[in-house]
Chain A
Amino acid sequence: QVQLQESGPELVKPSETLSLTCAVSGGSISNYYWSWIRQSPGKGLDWIGYIYYTGRTTYNPSLRSRVSISVDTSKSKFSLKLSSVTAADTAVYFCARCDDYVIKDWGQGTLVTVSS
């Protein structure tokens, strides 16, 4: 079972860009999709997007204009950038491994707060 660990700033100012990285260990980053999912406090899961190890991306249409996901296979990491953030982007952000359109492994999640 692969392990995933999110890292990045816990506090981001409004209008700035949220940046997170997910380190993958215990398995290969190849041949899978890697996803970001968020959960606002007290709310449900919100799928942000995923990236295939080759770099091909698909994003949630509601976030497509502000989101970018990239992968660095040499470092077994993938990253999320979300621009022009507002308080509505405050959430726990999970990175995850996706196989056959199923989220099979999850990181522990990291709370990112958008506030000045």
Chain B
Amino acid sequence: QSALTQPASVSGSPGQSITISCTGTSSDVGGYNYVSWYQQHPGKAPKLMIYGVSNRPSGVSYRFSGSKSGNTASLTISGLQAEDEADYYCGSYTNSNTLMFGGGTKLTVL
């Protein structure tokens, strides 16, 4: 199974909004509402930020939101803050009953 496609990097200034895309196929992202997003700071374990396409776990800032259109899911971070600088990974369930991740996107806050 090939990794979901994410841009290698995105950047934005404090206070701005950015969007990270995650493109798959109808066998994964497009076929199920089991898309999740994870934030990973250097040397740390990933942290769940969005699940079920657009749901935020308790404790995750309202500045993080998720959506999906067809085979592409998106993570939007509004009101960028320095602490948002991290790597972001999307994940999806697949029709083979497996999970798969995107290649990851490095977010730089300028």
User: Which A residues are closer than 8 A to B by beta carbons?
Assistant: 35, 37, 44-47, 49-50, 58-62, 94, 98, 100-104, 106-109
- In the bound complex, do residue A62 and residue B104 qualify as a contact, i.e. CB atoms below 8 Å apart? no
What mask results when residues 79 to 106 of chain B are scored 1 for a CB within 8 Å of chain A, else 0?
A: 0000000000101010011111111100
One of A94, A101, A108, A109 near B99 (C-beta < 8 A) = A101
Residues of A within 8 A of B34 (CB): 100-102
- In the bound complex, do residue A58 and residue B98 qualify as a contact, i.e. CB atoms below 8 Å apart? yes
What mask results when residues 23 to 35 of chain B are scored 1 for a CB within 8 Å of chain A, else 0?
A: 0000000001010
| Assembled-state Cα–Cα distance A100/B3 (Å) | 20
Q: 22 A-B pairs, CB-CB below 8 angstroms?
A: A44-B89, A44-B103, A44-B104, A45-B91, A45-B101, A45-B104, A47-B100, A58-B98, A59-B98, A60-B1, A61-B96, A94-B45, A101-B32, A101-B93, A102-B36, A102-B51, A102-B91, A103-B91, A104-B48, A104-B51, A104-B57, A108-B45
Q: How many A-B residue pairs have CB under 8 A?
A: 63
Given A102-B51, A103-B91, are A50 and B99 neighbors across the interface (CB < 8 Å)?
yes
One of A50, A61, A100, A104 near B1 (C-beta < 8 A) = A61
B12 within 8 A of A: no
CB distance from A37 to the nearest CB of B (A): 8
Chain B, residue nearest A105 (CB): B48
